[in-house]
Amino acid sequence: MVVELEERIPGQIAIVYCTDQYLKTVNQQYLKREYFTDVITFDYSNENIISGDIMISIDRVRDNAEKFNTSFKDELDRVMLHGILHLIGYNDSNSQEVETMRGKEDYYLELRNISS
């Protein structure tokens, strides 16, 4: 739904669920970052066809759900959506991009709730 609403074509998208430690190792190896994260996205998109790998730490999702007082399912949906938005082309490198990304996440999560 999100891919189509953003006027893109869905391609091959893999979602890999893993542990904190595994995702930290990926973060170190591929992105040269030394910290835990909830999601890493590897973008293989080609023009308007959205493809890639979205790696999600289930440990981090569980911790963040508790930290932000939300359900595990809602936090997992947000993180999956975050990865999809990266594949579409949204970034979160600065405060303005973070604000845009969060607005898109909130919009599509609310749309999910209305459609259910």
Please report, for the chain, the start and end positions of each structural domain, with discontinuous segments joined by +: 2-115
> Mean pLDDT throughout 87-100?
96
For the domain bounded by 2-115, which CATH number is listed? Answer: 3.40.390.30
Counting residues of the chain whose pLDDT is more than 90, the rounded percentage is 94
Tell me the sheet residues that pair with 112.
none
Mean pLDDT rounded to a whole number for the chain = 95
Task: Write the pLDDT tens digit of every residue in 64-76.
Answer: 999 999 999 999 9
pTM: 0.93
Of 83, 76, 89, 106, nearest in space to 46 by CA: 89
Asked if pLDDT for residue 16 goes beyond 90, the answer is: yes
- The distance between the two most distant Cα atoms of the chain, rounded to a whole number of Å, is 40
Distances in whole angstroms, Cα of residue 90 to Cα of each of 6, 53, 56, 59:
11, 15, 18, 25
- Alpha-carbon gap, residue 61 to 79, rounded angstroms: 8
Q: Which tokens go with 108?
A: 């599509």
